Chain A
């Protein structure tokens, strides 16, 4: 077998040699798996940069990962909803407040759908938003520092799944509940779900300057499961669409019981109408308790504010704002094409796609062509709003993205494929298999009026057989297809971290030039910052010891500290004095019950250490910073609790 392999490799090598010595026609004649032009399309030479940034949700990692397209190289993992020992996020005193909720400190979440901020329906590259599904939260991440700057908890919500998608000018980011729950929460029998549980759709306003989020209003909907959503755009700007399942309102064995109705709904929300109603004093101020965590770049510190109130809106109080569009077979994905005309609901149990027309919907509403109501909300007639059906021949359609050239691309989970079809004629143009079980797919700018339709990335759930085996657990697989031609072409596949659900992509030229390189020390307003090595000091405040420490290649100031006692609470406040791109210093101390710190140039971070044993304990830099990185270390002497040793500190003699 081995000999055979060598023989094949030898032949390939020979063929390659022939090709390279040939008449300059190489690459064109080859085909299939050895098509060298495909390799060229994803090859980004050393030192060259990728064309797009791709931000992939981490799913159960709770974070967001940054990749380059077309190379599939991973650049960074941005900690969002999960503690991250690599940098100390969620462990350092400054970042712990980011994970505060009404349930206390929740150091993990399930991050699903990232979406980049927009202006006039086009990506503007200011922020990226992502939802925490488990303990409902929405995070805002800066696209200049690539750090999480804000997390707002969403009350009256559970399974924050149909989010976080932004409207055309980032007026709102939505947070729709997947699980309906008692609102307000209370002790009640679960089997009385029907008619008693409700679903909230939260519209979170975004300050255009600072990006600060605030829950403007929550629409309290019937107790269905609100699965996914997308904003209207262009002509349908001002509307938001949410798919539902379990319109049966079953509370047990939903696998069967929520699949009984042939049609569930897409909820169409005229948020501009609701906004106007709220601006005019409408809605009910309801007591609530939810955390709003904001990270300040100048103090390098997050703070938590507990909010006590939320404005809720009963849809029946705003006539003409909410309608149901019947959509077959438990629709999952809800996607709106770049023109804003077509609303695509993919029945995850069907073979066909259902496409509604926004114009038809408006005509039906104006003509009051209703087919009954659900909890007082008008249901439009299926035939009146339908624009067409794609008879796909696939199974289990989930999500659709668009190339901006009149084509749509839909993933089929059960039949593991991406199907390309034409908007308006509904004909299938092309289909390509995925490996395997594809969930979301992403075209850069896919949730905007201007998609950059060069590549589509398929985010697959099952990876087996694609890479070298690494035991039972493996990373998920993404695939990149070239969609610049009539037919899709699979270029490359690569492992991704966590379980990427959705992704957002943006041309590199829109982000790279404004990416921050370091923090200016002069702008550091951290209360415990050490702006120069001369300011380094140690202070005692009862049992709290505050160490103002500075770092620079290749030493800590101070490097010897004495006078700390067992039972003290030692705060290492470390400021990195470097003012150079990509020169962080790390900090770790023996026996710390948290993590290391990774401190960026100009930044201050704080680690708490509670010495329990007498001794002389070392601390050191964890990030290889210079030729003398290994010498970047120091000692802290811990004396018995009853010691009278005065605090002292030093560097050099």
Chain B
């Protein structure tokens, strides 16, 4: 259980990477942008990959009537997310410490993992919702209005994950370093749970199965 607890602490601590590195990255390449424009999405705001990328993306987006890319103060998420992540790191470290001192069983680790997964899914949902709004809620006075073959107005929601061709742009949206650190951290906490469970024997195993099924 001690090894598992150390793993739990390290795992939750890896979430701290989100304060230094971007969570997500969206790159926009086009023939006239052989060096693609890019934005890095952090938990507290959006920054250009190069200094003036945001300005240039906004400059292009105004043709199709997209809003400008939000500043940190324009989205509640950017002030809330740091607290959420900070809270989860604190909670994870506390759970780990309590496990270390045998005040808490591996179930605490699982509980943390489940909460974190739910929050993560909620975050993805929120991120996707924002992109839908950003890509479809267009200025009615937009200079360019392009319709799909079926006559509906074209929307410009970037993909949540992967690559998509949008007009002349190739848009690639992928997790970035902060997310990979978070995934790694969460995997470690899952590993910690498994190690904790193993050290408890088969009786507990069955209980865990129930917990997971629930």
User: Which residues on A are within 8 Å of B, measured CB to CB?
Assistant: 552-553, 578-580, 626-628
5 closest A-B pairs by beta carbon, nearest first, are: A579-B52, A580-B56, A579-B55, A553-B59, A628-B143
Chain B residue numbers with a CB within 8 Å of A628 are 63, 143
**Whole-angstrom distance between the alpha carbons of A627 and B143 in the complex?**
10
Q: CB of B212 within 8 A of chain A?
A: no
Interface residues of chain B, those whose CB is within 8 Å of chain A, are: 51-52, 55-56, 59, 63, 143-144
Whether B144 pairs with A579 at a CB distance below 8 angstroms is no
Nearest to A581 among chain B residues (CB) is B35
CB proximity of A233 to chain B, nearest CB, Å: 39
Q: Are A627 and B63 interface neighbours, CB within 8 A?
A: yes
Kindly list chain A residues whose C-beta atoms are within 8 Å of the C-beta of B55.
579
Establish whether residues B59 and A552, one from each chain, have CB atoms under 8 Å apart when the complex forms: yes
Task: Give the most central of A579, A580, A626, A628: most B CB within 10 Å.
Answer: A580
A628 and B59 alpha carbons, distance in the complex (Å): 13
A578 to B57, CA, bound (A): 11
16 CB-based A-B contacts, threshold 8 Å: A552-B59, A553-B59, A578-B59, A579-B51, A579-B52, A579-B55, A579-B56, A580-B52, A580-B56, A580-B59, A626-B63, A627-B63, A627-B143, A627-B144, A628-B63, A628-B143
Closest partner residue, chain A, to B60 (CB atom): A553
Residues of A within 8 A of B56 (CB): 579-580
Q: Hey, which chain B residues are within 8 Å of A627, CB to CB?
A: 63, 143-144
Interface of A is mostly: loop
B55 to chain A, nearest CB (A): 6
How far, in angstroms, from A266 to B212 measured CA to CA in the complex?
A: 95
Least Cβ distance of B28 to chain A in Å? Answer: 13
How far is A137 from B101 in the complex, measured between Cα atoms in Å? Answer: 83
User: Bound state CA distance, A578 and B59, in angstroms?
Assistant: 9
**Least CB distance, A518 to chain B, in whole angstroms:** 8
Contact partners of A580 in chain B: CB under 8 A: 52, 56, 59
* Set of chain B residues within 8 Å of A578, measured between Cβ atoms: 59
Cα separation A553 to B63 with both chains bound (whole Å): 10
- Residues on A with beta carbons closer than 8 Å to the beta carbon of B52: 579-580
Chain B residue nearest to A602 (CB atoms) is: B52
Distance between Cα atoms of A580 and B63 in the complex (Å): 17
Complex Cα gap A627–B63 (Å): 9
Chain A: minimal CB distance from B66 (Å)? 15
Q: How far is the CB of A204 from chain B (nearest CB, A)?
A: 37
Complex-state Cα separation, A626 to B64, whole angstroms: 13
Tell me the smallest distance from the CB of A626 to a CB of chain B, in Å.
8
| Residue of B52, B55, B63 ringed by the most chain A CB atoms within 10 A | B52
Query: In the bound complex, what is the Cα–Cα distance between A626 and B143 (angstroms)?
Result: 12
Question: Within the complex, what minimum Cβ distance (angstroms) separates B27 from chain A?
Answer: 16
Give Cα distance in the complex from A579 to B57, angstroms.
11
In the bound complex, residues from chain B placing their C-beta under 8 Å from that of A553 are 59
A124–B59 alpha-carbon span in the complex (Å): 38
* Complex alpha-carbon distance, A553 and B59, angstroms: 7
Report how far A579 CA is from B59 CA in the complex, Å.
Answer: 10
For A601, the closest partner residue in chain B by CB is: B52
Q: Given contacts A553-B59, A628-B143, could you give 7 more A-B pairs where the C-beta distance is less than 8 Å?
A: A578-B59, A580-B52, A580-B56, A580-B59, A626-B63, A627-B63, A627-B144
Closest Cβ of chain A to B182, distance in Å, is 32
A478 to B176, CA, bound (A): 51
- The residues of A that contact B143 with a CB separation of less than 8 Å are 627-628
